[in-house]
Structure 1
């Protein structure tokens, strides 16, 4: 049997770079899996790096070796001597890490193509198979390969149940120790959080309303609660409001201070509010929050911003996108609903890929203005089918006083 296509030197170079440069795994975590390594010892070393990173631990050679020894994998991985050999022999340049990782991914694809080709060849030698079936099977094999994500997608139900059980135990232990292990985010609005619970990583939440209902205000409330209160990294993709206005609103909310006075007549601001606003500006220096106010952001803009935030802070708590209908793409779609489906599908995939919650603001169809009862319904979502399909949670905002001036 032929040896599968591989390159041990590139595998060693990737591992050397990961163990040498701190936080380097974030550069390849969405690219590489254990299966991209051919050598068993390299699979084990990579497995150690991934596990240590998931626990927010460094993953230098010493800690990787300790991880392997604790699980009795050290001998299978070549021991401490082999790890030191990797560091001594292989180039460990951080700048070449992604390039090396992509080469490994290419080799994985070559192995997969080779394996599928052998299946097709063996099938072709079966003289009882019809020509149509033979061609169909070959096309299916390579079509499936083309759409493959490269990561394992099949899990036994017991493995998934065990993971949730372990997570439950970790939360119990953290609670008994007086620590919080809340993985999800909270909006900071008590009644809403009571109804929703935590918005878990991987969740796409859509907040929809007509203009002047408070979508942007809610976005800022969530950003403030996640980054300031929960101290989790937050990214605001503001395609409509400049970053300075976002910052001013956040400072006014934290202070608190009258935003109208701050914006238009700061000289009239009471001394105590001015001091509180100054303190809010200083406090934000330590808050893990980034703003991208690129006009009409694309999926690529959002993905790159999330990647940078994750690289800077090690994780992402929430991404807030304002708003769906002004996003842009160079792709051509026959209908508007297909374009919306593309955006929501990509955002949902990113929430899972980066293990964060994404809050997406959306406009409602103006047709609701023609109804006597203007409270939003699901059908008021523009191109609602795609949004309903991809969103884990949909929240409608409604202020009765906008339509009924005497409303309290």
Structure 2
């Protein structure tokens, strides 16, 4: 009786080399790239729309990539974009001949009859770039797997990082009107209760702070810095809510750390005086919920806009602000949480230089938009090592340029945070003194003015 030997799995399924895949034409639409550039020449203001999601590296063709980058730089610096000025810029940078000279620019200028579909073409360019990024990431994963140069768990971690870094780099979040986020926030609150998963500026409305600073002045860069858990995000959100709700001024809140719905949860808890921990675990009372609904109805009418993309450059933040100003007719304030999470234009620069450039450009944005720009920042660990833990200008993390470019530097300090860890033995005189101190500082935060260019500290 004849027997059939079962072939080894590798013999039955020959593997396809990744090099074979690399020989294929990558996803690209050169016509869409040219249409984007032609649209900008016809209507430079579309740069604000395009900069929200499109970057120079998204262009496959080297000439198209260079031209788009130059156009964005011109628009971001407030310069007019036309053929003559573009030629001058390309000549000064030495790129004119490299992109194909005047014939190339003439071809671009005739790519589209109008700029009506600029965003549509830009989305095509972005989509093709995302496909190429996925191919690059997948190819690296394939080669690592073939070479078996690390254990499987580490390789899986690397693969995950490569794929998800594409999404992080795309800035997938969007600018949302507060009323849209509030609806989702209330749905989440209800689900938790059911046990389910789910002129010259503006006033901050904090009386003592406004008395000391004269309010938040237009064209000023204000830095609000603190160590973690000091409440700087909550304080910034309170200011944004005051300016938008009570003042009626449009506010753009750029949240690079927290999602829009997390911010709204915090805001609702603050204004409705609801315990945040109880809200998160769904144990709030019906009375709490009624207060939340009442405050949500009020806040939903406010011109407060939240961009919760985890990745934004200063150029993209500026584009978002310009769009809201055009739509609303004015802008009251910009808040960014927080500075060290803003993506640098050049990741190869030393970190201190990156932060210095970001701070400088934020000051420029405040001047361009003629609004106060409140940017949160982290402090270094030296603040923890000091005897009294009180923050100082020297504690600003990563760059002294932050202090230099800022008009106002404020620090949030909570003595309760440090005092609660000093509890002496119960029943002693020291414990009675400690209890008295805790009763005095509990629930209080101190705002320290570390620098004020035009006022006292």
Question: How would you bin the TM-score normalised by the shorter chain?
Answer: 0.5 to 0.7
Q: Select the residue among 352, 370, 377 that pairs with 1:362.
A: 377
Aligned equivalent of 1:226:
243
Give a deviation string over 1:53-93, Cα, whole Å, max 9, x none. Answer: xxxxxxxxxxxxxxxxxxxxxxxxxxxxxxxxxxxxxxxxx
Secondary structure of 2:268's counterpart equals: helix
Query: What is the deviation of 1:363?
Result: 0.4
Corresponding residue for residue 279 of structure 1: 294
CA RMSD of aligned residues (A): 3.0
1:309 corresponds, among 314, 321, 324, to 324
Residue 254 in 1 paired to residue 271 in 2? yes
Post-superposition CA distance 1:128-169 (Å, at most 9, x none): xxxxxxxxxxxxxxxxxxxxxxxxxxxxxxxxxxxxxxxxxx
In structure 2, the residue corresponding to 1:383 is in which secondary structure?
coil
CA contact (8 A) 1:341 1:387 kept: yes
TM-score, normalization: structure 1?
A: 0.55
CA deviation map 1:297-325 (0-9, x unaligned): 22132112112211221111111111111
Give the Cα–Cα distance (whole angstroms) in 2 for the partners of residues 112 and 331 of structure 1.
24
Secondary structure of residue in 2 paired with 1:286:
coil
- How far apart, CA to CA, are the structure 2 residues paired with 1:103 and 1:344? 21
- Partners of 2:296 and 2:45 in 1: CA distance: 30
How far apart are the structure 2 equivalents of 1:250 and 1:352? Answer: 28
Residue 386 of structure 1 and its aligned partner are, at CA, apart by 0.6
Q: Distance in 2 between matches of 1:388 and 1:276?
A: 41
TM-score scaled by length of structure 2: 0.49
Quick one: distance in 2 between partners of 1:310 and 1:341?
A: 27
Q: Structure 2 CA distance, aligned partners of 1:350 and 1:201?
A: 11
Is the contact made by 1:240 and 1:296 (CA closer than 8 Å) also made in structure 2?
no
Q: For 1:238-266, what per-residue CA distance to the aligned partner results, in whole angstroms no more than 9, with x for missing partners?
A: 11111111111222223333322222224
Query: SS where residue 400 of structure 2 aligns?
Result: helix
Question: Aligned residue for 2:214?
Answer: 197
1:85-132 CA distance string (max 9 Å, x none): xxxxxxxxxxxxxx9xx997426738999xx9xxxxxxxxxxxxxxxx
What is aligned with 1:184?
201
What residue in structure 2 maps to residue 383 of structure 1?
Answer: 398
Residue equivalent to 2:387: 372
Give the drift of 1:296.
3.2
Q: Does 1:238 align with 2:255?
A: yes
Unaligned runs of 5+ in 1: 1-16, 18-23, 30-98, 117-181
Three-state SS of the structure 1 residue aligned to 2:225 is strand
**Contact (CA 8 Å) 1:234, 1:318: kept in 2 or not?**
yes
Matches within 5 A, 1:6-405: 105-106=81-82, 109=85, 182-266=199-283, 268-269=284-285, 271-405=286-420
2:331 counterpart SS class: coil
Aligned mates of 1:357, 1:103 — CA distance in 2: 23
Q: Report the Cα distance in structure 2 between the residues aligned to 1:213 and 1:202, rounded to whole angstroms.
A: 27
